[in-house]
Structure 1
């Protein structure tokens, strides 16, 4: 897998479930139906395939618990993280506390983010992009990517 690609619209039902789009399902490793969902750094959720999550937890478990910043990070990053699974219809249930954290309403966007999928409220996702001018995006790219210019 080279990473997840694309952005997809979905709808939450009254129970907080959504149907994982077929185009995203095709990008999953064969037979993968288990995920971990957690709070994102922005007001969105992160959906990790279970194998990706296990690698992240392995790195986090090596951090020094005697460092208060490590404990704070672990609480913020791991707090609320929940294992979820696709049901027989290909739907996923969002935990209510995480749904509330991200302010998810009926319409959501599933945005690929290399090794995870970000789940956004559709209105907040649109607003995020509206707030970035092309000049601001260009400046951000230059700052983040620095001198890296291979194949861009």
Structure 2
């Protein structure tokens, strides 16, 4: 019995896990050793009962968002305000009128800070990432255009 028990302990076991943590939805994007798991690099997938569950390519690779989440809804509302200000701000940049840009700059950057703060309170890193990509990144690009 002792010999059999030792053999079982020393025998390597196979694991079906992949490197990297899981998001709040139980999934993540494959970044390393993807082919080993039958995935493409950058493919979003879930882990369920020891199996890898691929997200079909015609389905968005982002997890679904609980739209009843008030922090998320507020971030979207404030992000939409930022987007409308971004349109005006970009028009001012394109016009090249420094006075017009200067007049919009303070309120635009203030709204950006408000949106970033609200997004920081949204649950789920993938939710925050998608909100930042949609609202914050374009605003920061416009500010960089101004600085340039």
TM range (shorter): under 0.3
Q: Considering Cα pairs closer than 8 Å and 6+ residues apart, tell me whether 1 or 2 has the greater RCO.
A: 1
Q: Which has the larger radius of gyration?
A: 2
Structure 2 length normalisation: TM-score? 0.26
Structure 1 length normalisation: TM-score? 0.25
